[in-house]
A and B are shown apart, each in its own frame.
Chain A
């Protein structure tokens, strides 16, 4: 079943800025889809339309097979949840527990169910020990995870995240992406990610949409997307660093690289094939050199 179906959607702000121009965007249930674009490409407008914060000027948006305008707020927000880029926009309660309980209590669930959801959502983002803490005592990375837990407590079928790794250190970035991968693969949650960070996407995203000035430039799996380098440059993006290195080696040094590796694993496998066996020192990792 289709989790999200956006057809011919346009949106223009009151000041005349055309943010989206007749875009098509679809996500199947259980998919992990990334919306990739530079600043001002229309990513945030698109996700605000998907959660009903903005209304389309033209076109149609369906969430779980139902037109978004026909859904009551209570129903809509159990189908789709949004994690904001800045956790301070989203964490308004005084403590972690109160914040996570906010959504379930608004659904008028029995208190036992509210507590169960709080526990489960905090456990899902590895934040259970933070339960009694004040929000303003949390680190930025912890705030990011708790804001995700607050949305998970609503049990949305589709999880949308606006720049989930923005402002995180490399370890926090990896942890956040692993969490999202786990939610997608193990909990079968549909994940839509708006980002301009390209390095981790090939590892996680099933498909990528590239947006530029309110239009979809390209859509497909990461291997296909990053093959179109002119399009990537036109969208003011770049290749993942490892791909860039391999591309430069191929182009300037004539290294016979097949295709364009997108991850360190792929690049390593290709390079190992090119290096003569006798040059590789056996057991170098084991000796700790």
Chain B
């Protein structure tokens, strides 16, 4: 679970981590728009391959990447299965499950793959952004783009306390395991419910204490943010280059400009 939220790679020094987070955020946003609006599978797939290749080049372990992509892959699998059995007319094969006959269709299968491809393309962009930029820098960049202070403040606090609550939940779960709390399914369910309840109580308690601590340091309802220096020439160049690259890829692969 800790690996899922680990951000140690964002603190490594490399060409991507050195780029201003505002530049990375804008390029990622443009790439997401391109992937979501793509009508052909090649562009989302291209981004998927490019982003995963970059993540691998940054030395991120495959296990961590697989862990982070496990949920999106599951979503894609469900998407493909539903589309395959629900959409289309051309039969591919037939399954009989518990008296029910299900027919897979070619159009649905293709549609499912295409949508899944988009999901993976978009999530690989977010994955790369998350591996090349510490969360707090992303939040700062969002403030720089005039995103609501309240929203960013809540995001910062949520991100910070994920780790604190994970620690506590880990300790509580270990204490339950050591007293055979998960020995049988029924007992496990009861332990899990108790764990969830305790976590909610902990988070309320934590919120109250943190609010006290913030008040004692002058908090009056708005978290202050540092200054936002203008983008340097090099950063502006990277931004233009990134946006131009995405536009060119879109023009070639979607509009067939080159052809």
Contact = CB atoms under 8 A, between A and B. Distances in A.
Interface of A: 51, 53, 73-74, 77, 81-82, 84, 86, 88-95, 98, 101-103, 105-107, 111, 114, 133-137, 150-151, 154
A74 B11 CA distance: 35
B9 to A, nearest CB: 12
Given A92-B210, A93-B136, A101-B226, 6 more contacts: A77-B217, A82-B213, A82-B216, A93-B160, A94-B156, A107-B218
A288 B218 CA distance: 54
B223 to A, nearest CB: 7
Contacts of A102: 214, 217-219, 223-224
16 contacts: A51-B216, A53-B216, A74-B218, A89-B209, A90-B210, A92-B161, A93-B156, A94-B159, A101-B224, A102-B218, A105-B225, A106-B219, A137-B11, A150-B217, A151-B216, A154-B218
B160 A94 contact: yes
A81 B216 contact: yes
A157 to B, nearest CB: 14
B59 interface: no
B236 to A, nearest CB: 23
Given A106-B220, A136-B163, A89 B135 contact: no
B163 A92 contact: no
Given A88-B164, A94-B136, A94-B156, A103 B217 contact: yes
A88 B157 CA distance: 12
Contacts of B226: 98, 101, 105, 111, 114
Contacts of B217: 77, 81, 102-103, 106, 150-151, 154
Interface in B118-176: 134-136, 139, 156-157, 159-161, 163-164
Interface in B28-56: none
Contacts of A82: 213, 216
Contacts of A81: 216-217
Contacts of B157: 92
A88 B212 contact: no
B160 A135 contact: yes
Nearest to B218: A106
A134 B223 contact: no
B164 A53 contact: no
A51 B215 CA distance: 10
B213 A90 contact: yes
Contact of A95 (B136, B216, B220): B136
Given A94-B134, A95-B136, A77 B223 contact: no
Contacts of B136: 93-95, 98, 134
Contacts of A135: 160
Contacts of B135: 94
A84 B213 contact: yes
B89 interface: no
B213 A92 contact: yes
Contacts of A74: 218
